[in-house]
Structure 1
Amino acid sequence: MTQALPKVVSFEEFVNWKPSNGCYELHNGVIVEMSQPLGDHEDIVGFLVEKLVTEYTRLNLPYRIPKTALIKPLESETAYSPDILLLNRPNLATEPRWKNQATVSYAESIPLVVEVVSTNWRDDYLNKAGDYEKMGVPEYWIVDYLGLGGRRFIGNPKQPTISIYQLVEGEYQVSQFRESDRILSLTFPELNLTAQEIFNAGLPSS
C-alpha cells in the first residue's frame, strides 16, 4: 500500500523536499510514498521500455523516455511519477519546469503515458485517467497484469487486462486487450505486441 504523509504542501515544496531515493508522488497537496514494486512489475516496465525505444528509434521520432521525470497537471498541486513517460523532446523548450525540475505539464510534450498497476489501482484508473484526460494527453495505457482493478474497469470475472485510453474530441475512449489480443496504439500503430507478451515481459508462456 502507499503511505500518505499528512501535511499539505505545494508542488514547489514537494520538489524541493523530494529525496533522490524512493518514489513519491503529490496528490492534491499530499505527499504519497509509493510502495516498492514487485519484480514482475519491473520486468514488464523494462520490457515495454525496450519495445517503445526500439519503435521510436526505428521510426526516427524525436522521443525519449526519462527515468524519473514528473507530470504536473497545471490546475492542481499534483505531480505523478509514471512507470513510463514518453516525451516529445522538441516541445520541452516550452515547458517552464523542465530544465530545473524535470517536470512537464503540456500535452504536446507527452505523447504516451504507461502505468503498470500495483495495489494502488484506484490512482491509475480514477485519478490519473481523469487528470491525463483533462490535460489532453493523447494516449494512456493501464497494464493490469494481475487483474487488480475494480470490476467496473476490467469486468467480471477479473482478469489481466491492458486498457488503452485514447483522446477523441477531448474525451478518453478506452479499448481493452487480453490474452492473445494485439495491442492497438495510435502513437505506435505498427507495434506488434499482444497483451500476453506484455504480461510475460517477452518470455514464453510457461
Structure 2
Amino acid sequence: MIQAIPKTVSFDEFIAWYPQGSGCHYELHNGEIVEMPKPTGKHSRVAGFLIAELNFEIRRLKLPYFIPKEGVIKSVRDESGYEPDVIVIDERQVTDNPRWEKESIITQGSSVPLVIEVVSTNWSDDYALKLEEYEILGIFEYWIVDYLGLGGRRFIGNPKRPTISIYQFVEGEYQVCQFRENQRIESPIFPELNLTALQIFQAGQ
C-alpha cells in the first residue's frame, strides 16, 4: 500500500517516504511531493535515444562519465529534489556526494556535467523551476528537449516549434542556445556529438 502523501516535507522526509516499487515517480517541489506524469511512449523513446547516443560518445572517447538508471538531484535548499530524464555523472567527482553510494542522491552540482529534461505537459517545471535550481547548483550544462513544442512562447518563440534549448553555466549563470529542425546541436560537454535537433525529435515518432 502506498502511504498518503504528506502536505509539506523536508528532503530527508521525502526520501524516507518515497514508496519503492510502486511504478510511480515523485519529485519534491518546494516542500510539496508531486507525482510526475507517467512518460508516454514517445517521451521514453526520446530519452532512451539520448541515453544511447551519449553512452556511445562516452565509450568512444573514453570519457570519465556514466549515466545512472536512476538518481535524485537534491536542491541547495532543503525542500526540493528532482529525477531528471537523463543525468550524466562525472565518476571522478561523484565521491564528493556522501549520499550517492547508498541512496543515489546527488548533492554537488560539480559532479553533474549534464542534465536533460524531456518536456511533458508540466513544461513550466522544466523551463522555470528546474532551470533555476540547476543553475543554483552550478550544473554545467542543461538541455530542455521540447520535441512537441509545448513550452511557452517566451521560452521557444512564436510560432511554437519543437526546440532543444541548451543552457551552459557561464560566470555564475545560464546562457542559452536553441536548436531546431536540421541544425546540429552544440554541446560543450560533448563537442563531437553529431546529432541534429530533427534526429532527436524523430526518435519520438
Tell me the TM-score normalised to structure 2 length. 0.94
**Corresponding residue of 1:103:** 105
- C-alpha spacing 1:202/1:16, structure 2 compared with 1 (3 Å): closer
Which residue in 2 is equivalent to 1:38? 40
Equivalent position of 2:15 in the other structure = 15
Q: What CA distance in whole angstroms lies between the structure 2 residues aligned with 1:90 and 1:161?
A: 32
**Cα displacement (A) at 1:74:** 2.1
Between the two proteins, the alignment pairs up a number of residues equal to 199
Where in structure 2 are the equivalents of 1:102-121 lying within 5 Å? 102-121=104-123
TM-score of the pair, normalised by structure 1: 0.93
Name which of structure 1's ranges 31-40 and 15-24 shifts more when overlaid on structure 2: 15-24
The one-letter code matched in structure 2 to 1:13 is: E
Matched, 1:164 2:166: yes
| 1:1-206 superposed matches below 5 A | 5=5, 7-20=7-20, 21-201=23-203
Is the Cα contact below 8 Å between 2:89 and 2:111 reproduced in 1? yes
Any gaps of 5 or more consecutive residues in structure 1? Answer: none
CA deviation digits over 1:159-202, x for unaligned, max 9? 10000000111111100000000000000000000000000118
Unmatched 5+ stretches in structure 2: none
Cα-to-partner distance string for 1:79-102 (whole Å, 9 max, x where unaligned): 000000001112121102112221
Amino acid at match of 1:70: V
Root-mean-square deviation over aligned CA pairs: 1.3
Question: Which residue identity lines up with residue 180 of structure 1 in the other structure?
Answer: N
SS class of match (1:86): strand
Answer yes or no: is the 8 Å Cα contact 2:156–2:163 preserved in 1: yes
